[in-house]
């Protein structure tokens, strides 16, 4: 069994004690981090390597930043999403480990909708769709995990009306997410859990965590070769209740070993 976690840590520096404690207790084989908010040189590599992880890090000062951690070596590492050489935002890393082609994704938020930020989000998703198609052609088990900044359906948000104008729930955003599924990817959590109102993010404002006013925006998409091995996909709420918590909580996907 291979366990893969995805977690938007919302500043690796600010959350480091929580992150290290969770890695030690949950001990995922692979961890996909987003929103590091630091450059590579300031990533806590020594502390994380001390827990037995290899690291591939794409950092950016104060914003974005993604990493793959694995208990096995990371091979054929690719930094950045193909399709736009001018894009300097640190939002995508891809590597092979545990016999899987794995990517950590921090998809653009896109708000406010009537700005270039939303155009950037849609263009980035188009690039992701193109690359995801290419990955399918390899016929290897592919795991695309991360903070997608997409509320797939109204049941994935505590108040759909409050988010009707938000970039995370716009028809254009959801259509591009569905396009990934229509290519043949499986959304791991929904493949195994049909209950509504299960969330992976709670804002810091307005008592969102205390009132369970959340969103489900952290997802795993699996190629058919990976989906065939899907054993479980669960949201671990416990880290969100910690002091100085990230506003996201880990999602953990488990795949059976290849036959």
Tally of domains in the chain: 1
pLDDT value at position 27? 98
CATH number of 214's domain: 3.60.10.10
pLDDT in tens, the chain (259 residues): 999 999 999 999 999 999 999 999 999 999 999 999 999 999 999 999 999 999 999 999 999 999 999 999 999 999 999 999 999 999 999 999 999 999 999 999 999 999 999 999 999 999 999 999 999 999 999 999 999 999 999 999 999 999 999 999 999 999 999 999 999 999 999 999 999 999 999 999 989 999 999 999 999 999 999 999 999 999 999 999 999 999 999 999 999 998 7
Residue 58 structural domain? 2-255
What is d(CA 97, CA 76) in angstroms, rounded to the nearest whole number?
9
SS3 assignment, position 215: strand
Pairing mode of beta strands 251-255, 230-235: antiparallel
pLDDT of 206 reads 87
Q: Catalogue the E-assigned strands of the chain.
A: 2-8, 30-34, 54-58, 66-70, 75-79, 92-97, 100-106, 142-147, 186-187, 201-202, 214-215, 218-222, 230-235, 251-255
Alpha helices in 105-187 (DSSP H): 116-137, 171-183
The C-alpha atoms of residue 158 and residue 155 are separated, in whole angstroms, by 7
Helix crossing, 116-137 with 171-183: angle to 10°?
A: 0
The number of angstroms, rounded, from the C-alpha of 248 to the middle of its chain's C-alpha atoms is 10
How many Cβ atoms sit within 10 Å of the Cβ of residue 119? 14
Alpha helix ranges (H) inside 77-160 = 116-137
| CB-neighbour burial class of residue 160 (10 A; exposed 0-12, middle 13-18, buried 19+) | middle
Whole-angstrom distance, CA of residue 70 vs CA of residue 24: 13
Which of 220, 118, 213 lies closest to 160, judged by CA?
A: 213
pTM for this prediction: 0.97
Q: How far apart are CA 59 and CA 34, in angstroms?
A: 10
SS3 225: helix
């Amino acid at each position: 069994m291979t366990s893969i976690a995805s977690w938007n840590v919302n500043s690796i520096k600010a959350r480091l004690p929580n992150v290290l404690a969770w890695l030690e207790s949950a001990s995922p084989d692979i961890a996909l981090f987003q929103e590091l908010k630091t450059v590579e040189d300031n990533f806590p590599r020594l502390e994380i390597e001390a827990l037995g992880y290899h690291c591939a890090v794409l950092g950016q000062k104060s914003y974005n930043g993604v990493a793959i951690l694995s208990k096995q070596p990371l091979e054929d590492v690719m930094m950045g999403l193909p399709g736009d050489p001018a894009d300097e935002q640190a939002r995508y890393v891809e590597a092979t480990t545990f016999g899987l082609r794995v990517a950590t994704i921090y998809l653009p938020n896109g708000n406010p909708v009537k700005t270039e930020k939303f155009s950037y989000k849609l263009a980035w998703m188009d690039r992701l769709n193109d690359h995801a198609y290419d990955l399918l052609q390899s016929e290897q088990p592919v795991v695309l995990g991360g903070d997608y900044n997409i509320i797939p359906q109204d049941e994935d948000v505590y108040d759909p009306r409050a988010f009707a104008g938000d970039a995370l729930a716009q028809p254009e955003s959801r259509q591009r997410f569905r396009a990934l599924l229509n290519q043949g990817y499986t959304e791991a959590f929904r493949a195994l859990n049909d209950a509504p109102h299960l969330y992976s993010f709670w804002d810091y404002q307005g008592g969102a965590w205390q009132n369970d006013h959340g969103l489900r925006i952290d997802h795993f998409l699996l190629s058919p070769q990976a989906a065939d091995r899907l054993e479980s996909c669960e949201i671990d709420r416990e880290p969100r209740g910690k002091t100085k918590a990230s506003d996201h909580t880990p999602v953990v996907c488990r795949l059976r070993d290849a036959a």
